[in-house]
Structure 1
Amino acid sequence: MLSRKPFRFLLIVGLAAILTVIISIPVRFVLVKLQNPEPEAILMLGGDLFREDFTAEFGQQHPNLEIWISGTYPEGRRILEEHDLDPDRVHYDDRATDTVTNFTTMIEPLKQNHISHVYLITSDHHMPRSTAIGMIIFGSRGITFTRVPAPSDQSPETTLRIARDVGRSFMWLVTGRTGASFNPRLSSQIKPLLSVIPQHN
C-alpha cells in the first residue's frame, strides 16, 4: 500500500497540471483579445483556392494590414497577385503540411513581427476545426484571432476529425511534435504533391 502513495500523488499532480493548462489556454486567449481588441494582420490558411479570392477582397477592405498566407498552391499565389494588392503586404509561408502545422509554423513569424491578434481566414466548413486547433496552439503562445469564414458549399467537418487534431494539438504542447508524420492520408498525398508545391493544407 505504501508504494502506491507516491504514484497516486504524482498522478494527481500530473492531472492537476494538465487541467490547469486546459483551463488557462482559453482564459489567456480571451485576455489577449481584450488587451489587443483590433486585429493587427490577416492570416489565411491555404487549402481551397477560393480562399485566395476571398482573402484578396478582404485585404482590400483592410489596406493597412499585412497578409500572411500559410500554405498555398502556385495557382493561389497567382490569384493573389492578380488582385490589386501591394506585394510587400503579402507574406507566404509554405512550411505547413496540414491544419495543425498551419498554426505551429506561424507562431514564430507572428511573434517576430509583434502580432498577437489576427483575422483568421479559412473556409466556413473548415473553421470549427481551425478554431479548436488555434485556441490551443495560438492561445498557449499568447496569440488570439477573429474568425472570418469564407463561404463554401462543402459539408462541415466531422467531430472525429476535429477531436483528432485537438489531440494532436495537445501532443504538440507536451512534446513539441505535431504528429503530422503519422497521418496516413497526408503520407500518401505529400510525395506526389512535392513536385508541384512545397507543402499544402
Structure 2
Amino acid sequence: MGFGPPDLSHLACGASLMALGGRLLLLCAAVVAGAAVGGPLRPYVEAALTNHQPQRILVLGGDADRERMGLHLARRMNLPLVVSGGTNPEYAQSLVRDAGLTQDRVRLDYRAEDTLGNFTSLVDELERDGVHHLLLVTSEDHLPRAMAVGGIVAGSRGIRLTGVPVSCQPKCRDESLGKRFGDGLRAAAWVITGRDLKPWARRNWPQLFSAQ
C-alpha cells in the first residue's frame, strides 16, 4: 500500500490563524497607540517624551532647607523659582536676599494647603506660561508622594517633573503607602472633575479622617 502526499491543511490553517492573530495584535497596538497619542493620555505621553530642559523650579513648602536648595538651584541654573506654601514672607524674602537673588526672580505663593494644592493652584498658570519641564524640590521623605501627585496633575498638562530630594535627616518620617495612594486618587479625581474630593469625603465618611 502506497503513501500519498501528507495532508498539510492543518498547518495552512494554523498559519492563517497566526497571521490573523498577528494582524489583530497590530490592530490592538494601533488602537492603544492612537488612544495614547490622541486621547486623554496624550499629555502624559508628551510629558514623558519631552526633550525640554528644566524651565522653572518649584519648591514645595514645609522646610526652610527646601527653599535654600531651590534658591541655590535658581542661582546656579539661572531659572525662575516658585515657592508654594513656604515659610512666612518676611523670612522667605530674607532667604532670597541671602542667596543673592532679586525678588522678581522668586515667586512666593501661599494658596496651597497641602501637596495636592501645591500643584492644582499653579498647574494651569504653568501651562499658560509654556512650561514643559519642572524641577521639583522637596524633602526626600516627601518626594515619592509629591512625584506621584504631581505626575498626575502636572502630567495632565503635559508637564514633566524631575525630582530634587533635600536631605531631611535626622527628621525624616516614613510616609505610608495608604497616604500616597489616597493622595494619588485625589489627584486623579481633580484631573477628571476639576475638584478636590477630600472635603466631600470628609463630610460623608468622617471616620476615615478621625485618626488624622
State the TM-score, normalizing by the size of structure 2. 0.69
Residues 84 and 118 in structure 2, CA contact (< 8 A), matched pair in contact too? yes
Residues 82-101 of structure 1: matches in 2 within 5 Å? 82-101=98-117
- Distance change >3 Å, CA 82–CA 43, structure 1 → 2: same
Residues 5-20 of structure 1: matches in 2 within 5 Å? none
Of the candidates 75, 85, 100, which is equivalent to residue 71 of structure 1?
A: 85
Structure 1 residue 45 and structure 2 residue 60: aligned?
yes
Of the candidates 50, 74, 79, which is equivalent to residue 59 of structure 1?
A: 74
Residues of 1 paired with 2:160 and 2:127: CA distance? 12
Of the candidates 17, 20, 35, which is equivalent to residue 50 of structure 2?
A: 35
Runs of 4+ with deviation above 4 angstroms: 24-27
Higher CA-based Rg: 2
Question: Which residue of structure 1 aligns with residue 176 of structure 2?
Answer: 158
Structure 1 residue 82: Cα displacement: 2.3
- Indicate the RMSD between aligned Cα atoms, in angstroms: 2.5
Question: Sequence identity, in percent?
Answer: 33
Output the amino acid matched with 1:170: A
Structure 1 residue 40: Cα displacement: 0.6
- Distance change >3 Å, CA 27–CA 149, structure 1 → 2: farther
Residues 52 and 132 in structure 2, CA contact (< 8 A), matched pair in contact too? no
Residues 104 and 137 in structure 1, CA contact (< 8 A), matched pair in contact too? yes
Taking CA–CA contacts closer than 8 Å with sequence separation of 6 or more, which of the two structures ends up with the larger relative contact order? 1
Residues 118 and 144 in structure 1, CA contact (< 8 A), matched pair in contact too? yes
- Structure 2 residues without counterparts, runs of 5 or longer: 1-34
Structure 1 residue 58: Cα displacement: 1.7
Residues of 2 paired with 1:89 and 1:155: CA distance? 32
SS in 1 for 2:122: helix
State the TM-score, normalizing by the size of structure 1. 0.72
- Distance change >3 Å, CA 25–CA 62, structure 1 → 2: farther
- Distance change >3 Å, CA 77–CA 114, structure 1 → 2: same
